[in-house]
Amino acid sequence: MRFSNYDNLVVVDVMLNDFIPVRLLLDTGVEGIIITDMDIVSLFTDRCIRNFSLSAPGTTHVLEACVSSPVKVNVGKLNPVFTNLVLLSEDYFSLDEYIGSKVHGLISMSKFRNLIVTTDYDQNMLKFQLPERYHPPFRSQIIPISIFNGKPHMNARVELDNGDISDYWLMIDSGANHPLLLEVDSLSDYKPKKSIDAIIGRGLGGNLHGSFARVGWLMLGNLRLDDVITSFAENYTSEIISLRMNRDGTLGSGALGKFKVTFDYLNSRMILEKGNKFSNPFEYNMSGMSFRSFGFGFNLFEVSEVIPGSPAHEAGLQLGDVLVSLNGKSTFFLNLGELNRILSEKEGNIILMTASRGGKQLSFRFKLRRII
């Protein structure tokens, strides 16, 4: 079945109870099916059988949710299953704004634990196979994984920018678009030589703050990725640390997207084949600003972060500015992925931008520059 690819985040079409179509983020880092869209939640609240509270990384907030009675779930041509839904009381994720398209929630990869699931990021295709019919391709890399609470974990070797080499226990998180995230409390006194403070992601508790830096390399089995942009997470509460299964960080879709990735939960293994983007360098947005999308078609873009000292900051862009045009083209005809690609494509490119601020249109000109 085909999927929609948003910066290596996989969104699939799912049918609930035969008549409610939803779009869900396929995520190895969650359990079950989580519905975040309040319109869909309202259709199932009368089926809640248990309320519970969630703790979220990077915050002390307690979030409220409930579990529904079993619902019929159809994914592609697979046999339907009956399963509970987790219904959030608020849309804590705001997936729409940061993916740039309508998304109603998340579905765990573990829902397909009895099948072999292959994600082809180059062709935007998912392939489901019966275990007895699957044989790892020649030249593929087989990596042992361990499953805890439905989430896959693996060991990876990393060279930090100071030359130190260590093995790290990582949760595989296809629902996060960073390549690699390391927990600060797993790194002793290490600090990167060059880093930038920024919002490194978004979770149930809202924006996650930390820093970005580059590590020397990341080894996944015998496959090596160089100069990997790495997120360093801070401010995890002791309660969250205790729930981390002693992991040191996460491997995200920014790295997974360089492969054809196969999960075989029954045999506790992940199989990697090099994809078309395997040799492409890791790049971070060279403007130094981030956006949230809004509007009916998610083609309006508001500046949600400006990194101090970045090209966008030096040009005078501010939080809350709404983009009007980019290099002479109306941003109405762009999506969030295209916008980020243009701003990450090539160091030295000139960007001409018009933005609306307080009812006035302002023009900006800056040159893309690697900030990390």
Tell me what pLDDT residue 238 has: 41
Contact 114, 43 (CB under 8 A): no
Q: List, for residues 62-81, the tens digit of each pLDDT value.
A: 778 999 999 999 999 999 99
Domain positions in the chain: 4-117, 129-274, 289-367
Lowest mean pLDDT among 141-155, 187-201, 275-289: 187-201
Cα torsion 206, 147, 153, 183: sign: positive
Percent of the chain scoring above 70 in pLDDT: 94
Tell me what pLDDT residue 239 has: 43
Tell me what pLDDT residue 204 has: 59
Q: List, for residues 101-151, the tens digit of each pLDDT value.
A: 999 999 999 999 999 999 999 999 999 999 999 999 998 999 999 999 899
> Is pLDDT at 60 greater than 90 in this prediction?
no
The owner of tokens 């879709």 is 253
Region of residue 139 (left: phi > 0; alpha: psi -120 to 50; beta: else): left
Q: How many CB atoms lie within 10 A of CB 72?
A: 14
Return the CATH architecture of domain 4-117.
Answer: Beta Barrel (2.40)
- 289-367: same fold as 4-117? no
Tell me what pLDDT residue 236 has: 47
Q: Which position has the higher pLDDT, 58 or 149?
A: 149
Tell me what pLDDT residue 218 has: 98
Contact 336, 99 (CB under 8 A): yes
How would residue 206 be classed by pLDDT, with cut points 50, 70 and 90?
low
Tell me what pLDDT residue 188 has: 83
> Is pLDDT at 264 greater than 50 in this prediction?
yes
Helix extents (H) in the chain: 38-42, 95-99, 238-242, 253-256, 311-315, 336-342
Q: Which residues contact 330 (CB under 8 A, 6 or more apart)?
A: 324
CATH T-level topology, domain 129-274: Cathepsin D, subunit A; domain 1 (2.40.70)
pTM above 0.85, yes or no: yes
Q: List, for residues 137-193, the tens digit of each pLDDT value.
A: 998 999 999 999 899 999 999 999 999 999 999 999 999 989 999 998 888 888 898
Percent of the chain scoring above 90 in pLDDT: 76
Instruction: List beta partners, residue 198.
Output: 210
> Is pLDDT at 240 greater than 80 in this prediction?
no
Lowest mean pLDDT among 12-16, 33-37, 244-248, 287-291: 244-248
Tell me what pLDDT residue 245 has: 60
> Is pLDDT at 343 greater than 90 in this prediction?
yes
CATH T-level topology, domain 289-367: Pdz3 Domain (2.30.42)
- Average pLDDT of the segment spanning 354-371: 95
Q: Which two three-digit tokens encode residue 337?
A: 């992925």
How would residue 235 be classed by pLDDT, with cut points 50, 70 and 90?
low
Cα(171)–Cα(240) distance, integer angstroms: 14
